[in-house]
Amino acid sequence: MSVLVWVEHDNNSVKDATLAAVTAGTRLGDVVALVAGQGAQGAADAAAKIAGVSKVLLADDAAYGHALAENVAPLVADLMAGYDAFVAPATTTGKNIAPRVAALLDVMQISEVLSVESADTFTRPIYAGNAIATVKSADAKKVLTVRGTAFEKAATEGGSASVEAVSGKGDSGLSSFVGAEIAKSERPELTSAKVIVSGGRALGSSEQFHGLIDPLADKLGAAVGASRAAVDAGYAPNDYQVGQTGKIVAPEVYVAIGISGAIQHLAGMKDSKTIIAINKDEDAPIFQVADLGLVGDLFKIVPELTEKL
């Protein structure tokens, strides 16, 4: 089976989510990576080194610069004449593009794939991860988005694929990019961090959230996350949100501070290797999934912990 994998990139390097998509792709067959962008030669060169990638297609055009679904979906759909499956990481970019590709191909997409059982059978979460469905596709071509935390990341070195230029119809004239406010941070990215420190509504204010969580995260070299309750209360920006409606993470260590453990939050972090919970309520649901729990006042515990580390 020949598989076209969508590469998420910043023009110079390949984002981690792509590496999991490559691994999922190799379970299906021979992986060709598609880099669409403007001035993305650097990303194409990086993609060519990924272990398991046999060829890189580079579609370099102003129309593909911001991965507008209206422009890139027809490009992918046309390329799919030569492939049996399209695999995209289940990032906001992948989720935006893949269903548009699927409809152009008249294929029913399989979203957030957790495992590849066979060439046509996959598992995926439903009901916010409260159930796992095994689904079998009757479509001739497959379109999948894959959950980054469910697959090993392919190695970023070891491959030596060739890069081939491709072109498509370009600008559809339906949409244009206006601007972006992308948060800049010295800390690791949430979805690829080894350690995450997350705060909940119990932090009480934005000042206390950043005053307590940030120093601890810095000590641990961790990314900072937040529960939806903390985000809704305005204590943390939305791109910190971990949960079914935010980011799905699976770090080595996840430290949940003042987070009760609502189903929607657990859905986003329960695959973490070790979960540590600090909460004053000893009956909080977070303790049912935590490997290590400490019951007490976070306003005393967190500064003490930060100091002693």
Partner 1 sequence: MKVLVPVKRVLDYNVKPRVKADGTGVDLANVKMSMNPFDEIAVEEAIRLKEKGAATEIVVVSIGEQKAQETLRTALAMGADRAILIVAEDKVEPLGVAKLLAKVAEAEAPGLIILGKQAIDDDNNQTGQMLGALLGWGQGTFASKVEVAGEQVDVTREVDGGLETVKLKLPAIVTTDLRLNEPRYASLPNIMKAKSKPLDQKTPADYGVDVAPRLTVVSVTEPAKRQAGVKVADVDELVGKLKALGVAK
The residues in 234-293 that bind partner 1, with binding defined as CB under 8 A, are 237-239, 244-245, 247, 252-253, 263, 270, 274-276, 282, 287-293
DSSP output for 231-246:
HHTTSS-GGGBBSTTS
DSSP bridge pairs for 34:
6, 57
Contact region with partner 1 (CB under 8 A), list: 57-65, 124-132, 151-159, 198-206: 124-132
Nearest residue (CB) to partner 1, 161 versus 222:
222
What is the nearest approach in angstroms of partner 1 to the Cβ of residue 160? 30
What is the nearest approach in angstroms of partner 1 to the Cβ of residue 196? 11
Count residues contacting partner 1 (CB under 8 A)?
88
Q: Which amino acid is at 181?
A: E
- Per the document, the length of the chain is 309
Contact region with partner 1 (CB under 8 A), list: 57-65, 80-88, 159-167, 178-186: 178-186
- Restricting to residues 7-66, which ones interact with partner 1 according to CB under 8 A? 66
CA distance 86 to 177: 25
**x/- contact string, 155-174, with partner 1 (CB under 8 A)?**
-----------------xxx
DSSP output for 265-294:
HHHHHTT-SEEEEEES-TT-THHHH-SEEE
Return the residue of 176, 207, 281, 297 that touches partner 1, per CB under 8 A: 176
Contact of 258 with 243, CB cutoff 8 Å:
no
Nearest residue (CB) to partner 1, 27 versus 228:
228
Q: Which amino acid is at 102?
A: A
- Restricting to residues 137-156, which ones interact with partner 1 according to CB under 8 A? 137-139
Nearest residue (CB) to partner 1, 54 versus 285:
285
Contact of 17 with 89, CB cutoff 8 Å:
yes
DSSP summary character for residue 194: S
Return the residue of 82, 127, 169, 207 that touches partner 1, per CB under 8 A: 127
Q: Which amino acid is at 265?
A: H
What is the nearest approach in angstroms of partner 1 to the Cβ of residue 44? 21
Return the residue of 81, 178, 186, 283 that touches partner 1, per CB under 8 A: 178
Nearest to 171 by CA among 260, 88, 64: 64
Nearest residue (CB) to partner 1, 7 versus 102:
102
What is the nearest approach in angstroms of partner 1 to the Cβ of residue 288? 5
DSSP bridge pairs for 89:
146
- Restricting to residues 57-116, which ones interact with partner 1 according to CB under 8 A? 66, 68-70, 73, 91-93, 95-104, 106-112
Nearest residue (CB) to partner 1, 51 versus 86:
86
- Restricting to residues 185-244, which ones interact with partner 1 according to CB under 8 A? 191, 194-195, 219-220, 228, 232, 237-239, 244
Max Cα–Cα distance, the chain, nearest Å = 61
What is the nearest approach in angstroms of partner 1 to the Cβ of residue 158? 26
Q: DSSP 3-state assignment of 18?
A: helix
Residue burial 27-62, b: 16+ Cβ < 10 Å; e: rest: bbeebbbbbbbeebebbbbbbbbbbbbbbbbbbbbe
What is the nearest approach in angstroms of partner 1 to the Cβ of residue 179? 5
Nearest to 94 by CA among 75, 57, 69: 69
